[in-house]
Amino acid sequence: MNIYKLYFLLIFLCVIVEAQKTNPAISKPVTDEYFGSKIVDEYRNLEDLNDLSTSKWMEDQTKYSLSVLRNIPNRQFYIDKRLEFDKKQAVSVNQLNITDNDSYFYLKRLPQEKTAKLFYRRSFTGIEKEIFNPENFKPENKKKYQINYIKPSYDGSKVVIALTESGKEISEMVIYDISQGKLLPDILTNSWPSDSGGITWLSDNKSFIYRYYPVIDPKSPLFLKDTESVLYTIGQSPQAHTILLSRQNNPEVKINPEDFPRIGISSKNSKYIFGQISGAATFKDTYYIPSDNVFSQKKWKFLFSKEDKITDFIEKDDNLIYISERNGTNAIYSTSLRNPDFQNAKILVPNIADEIIISLNNLKDGFVFSTSKNGVEAKVYLYKGKNKNLLTLPFLAGNVSITAKGNTSNDFWVVCSGWKNDSERFKYNSLQNKFIPENIAPIIEYPEFKDIIAEEITIKSHDGLDIPVSLMYNKNTKKNSENPVLIYAYGAYGTNISPNLSKTYMLWVQKGGIVAIAHVRGGGEKGEPWHEGGYKITKSNSWKDLISCAEYMIREKYTSKNKIAIWGASAGGITIGRAITERPDLFKVAIIDAGVVNATRMEFTPNGLNSAKEFGSLQNEAEFKALLEMDAYQQIRKGEKYPATLITSGINDPRVSPWMPAKFAAKLFAADKSENPLFLKIDYEGGHGSDIPVAQKYDNIADTFAFAFWQLGHPDYEVKEIKK
């Protein structure tokens, strides 16, 4: 960059920073005291989104941010390439459901379409038929509805369709009757099936169980509280649903207001129905009743507690077969459902060295299970006749998902994916002992990605522990200080960041960058111990692992500190927010999408008491201290120089209240003394990031993509002049 370009760039950045500081948020500090510690919250007033000064400030910041972000040179590249890939793909398919009689239900979207439609075919080779278009749902509302969940009955005669709009996730549900070829008049409101374990059909194929939310107004203190698992029979009044499991109806079950009661059935022939006290926790207290008692509403019988550390289970021949992490050993066990004894359960599959057993699916003559090494190397095993057999997958998969019909069939399907290859679906042929391709959508090759290398490495963290890191880069990339590096991290809820084709990452590499996925503690890449290593009082390991990853990339000459962007979303906001507040000198760019950046106030959000199971509670002294330590907002220091930062949120976000990113932005803007641009951007037609049209998604990610490359000095995104 010559001296003149540098001069104009510095002037441009000064203009941006100065414009930001001429519109500060109003500060009305509040002081709280916990266990003798006084905590000052400078922008507590921003939590009131009904305050006109707050809403106007957020809107003004968003307009300003968009005026800059949308004018970054070459920003359109990302959108154009994604649309180009869509056209090449011809069709995208997801949420495939196969019924017991081999009816196929799935969502499909063509490149020119804004949202996916629901399709049906009688078998894999059957004739495809469109049965529902969300654009035709309540056209008088003029809202952009998305299908966010589908669930067909066992016999494929009916399918429940859940719809939401503007990222709200709370849904309305309709029922399509295949034989009649039309929607039934039933419309169920106040549901959130994609986040509650879904919908469970009964064997009569006319009744199903779902979770009902009595209050769906996000502004109400009762939002997300006292939810109910209810039974609905087609044709009855939606208001006349039968409560099967709730805090009010079931005193024999310990349920708190914030808990999510969830009911599941293994298959249509199941002898038992299982009720779980669910929420933001890996393990759940679980109860059960005989399935023939569902209509008589018998009292639930306790089965196992969260202390048994059971992650998945199936019902088989009056036995419960389950994966447990108890005593630090990941294995598959069996115990009787007539007389359960978890202390003396039989081990069916002992711990497998260097692998974590992830999932368990029932088959007629056994079961199938998957494992993962470091969250990035997947395997599938078939258990039959007291023996486990490792199956040869069609290709080396970083991630697999398995679906099966339960104890009525030996059929099962696997979907395999990796960092470089898109998901491919295969049906297992037990007679030939091999996988047969069965893709609804054609598999597309991307020659643009052929020179990209995906590499798995480990780096040493601050305490000497090995942290898995996934790298993606062009095979011709040379190690030097000029490589723009994008590091993504999450680290919460025991969630794996498993390999799936991300065209965003691939496009970053195509533009000459390096992508690093830091599998930090708090995730589940190495099982429950890995989760517990970044959980509540150990949460600091999440951002310290990320810091160690960045230091490794610099030390090994992949890049330099002025060329590193870090990115995280939701609970990953803790990891990213604390990384930049602990080591602001180490990063050039930070992107935080809908992030938990004010952890000490999380309990005061609609889902906060639930989230306390993961992050901690202010009512516990040790957990309060941990929450304060993980609170990026509280760790912002006046006069510090922070990286260029893009903070985003959705106004309809039901998970992380939009005032949280707004508060973080306000305090960061006021404290920062650098010349780096800082932006707050609210999506006023979105929520937590999902359930929005693809064009809207591409637009949002294009802002992130262009912002990061601009600030890392990529020549294609260089600001060449100041527009007055």
pLDDT of 580 above 60: yes
Q: What are the structure tokens assigned to 407, written together?
A: 């104890």
Calculate the alpha carbon distances from 408 to 168, 363, 412, 415 in Å: 37, 7, 11, 21
Smallest Cα–Cα separation from 541: which of 573, 579, 591? 579
Helix count and strand count (H, E) for the chain = 11, 38
Calculate the alpha carbon distances from 54 to 49, 223, 351, 608, 678 in Å: 6, 22, 54, 22, 18
Q: Tens of pLDDT along 595-626?
A: 999 999 999 999 899 999 999 999 999 999 99
Greatest distance between any 2 Cα atoms in the chain = 81
Give the bridge partners for 415, in sequence order: 401, 425
CATH topology for 3-22+69-83+446-717 is: Rossmann fold (3.40.50)
Average pLDDT over residues 447-473: 97
Q: When comparing pLDDT for 23 and 308, which is higher? A: 308
Whole-number mean pLDDT of the chain?
A: 93
What pLDDT is recorded for position 196?
60
Q: Tens of pLDDT along 662-674?
A: 999 999 999 999 9
DSSP letter at 425 equals E
C-alpha span between 224 and 608 (Å, rounded): 10
Residue entry with tokens 């339960």: 406
9: phi then psi, degrees, rounded to nearest 5: -65, -45
What pLDDT is recorded for position 408?
85
What pLDDT is recorded for position 722?
42
Percentage above 90 pLDDT, the chain: 86
Where is 7: in which H helix or E strand?
helix 3-21
Q: Tens of pLDDT along 138-150?
A: 988 888 899 999 9
Burial of 544 (0-12, 13-18, 19+ CB in 10 A): buried
What pLDDT is recorded for position 8?
47
Point out the least confidently predicted range of 13-17, 26-30, 345-349, 501-505: 13-17
HSE of 559 in the Cβ direction (CA atoms, 13 Å)?
A: 27
Other beta carbons within 10 angstroms of residue 559's beta carbon come to 24
Q: Tens of pLDDT along 44-78?
A: 999 999 999 999 999 999 999 999 999 999 999 99
Identify the band that residue 125 occupies on the pLDDT scale cut at 50, 70 and 90: very high
The gap from C-alpha 656 to its chain's centroid, in whole angstroms, comes to 13
Average pLDDT over residues 257-268: 90
Identify the band that residue 15 occupies on the pLDDT scale cut at 50, 70 and 90: low
Q: What's the pTM value of the predicted model, to 2 decimals?
A: 0.95
Calculate the alpha carbon distances from 336 to 67, 283, 317, 354, 704 in Å: 64, 20, 9, 29, 52
Q: When comparing pLDDT for 204 and 432, which is higher? A: 204
Say which amino acid occupies 482: E
End-to-end C-alpha distance for the chain, whole angstroms: 23
Percentage above 70 pLDDT, the chain: 96
pLDDT of 366 above 70: yes
Comma-separated ranges of CATH 3.40.50.1820 domains in the chain: 3-22+69-83+446-717
C-alpha span between 481 and 486 (Å, rounded): 14
DSSP letter at 25 equals P
Total residue length of the chain:
724
Sign, Cα dihedral of 209, 214, 218, 222: negative
The gap from C-alpha 145 to its chain's centroid, in whole angstroms, comes to 20
Could you tell me where the DSSP H helices lie in 583-692? 608-615, 621-630, 659-671
C-alpha span between 602 and 627 (Å, rounded): 9
What pLDDT is recorded for position 268?
84
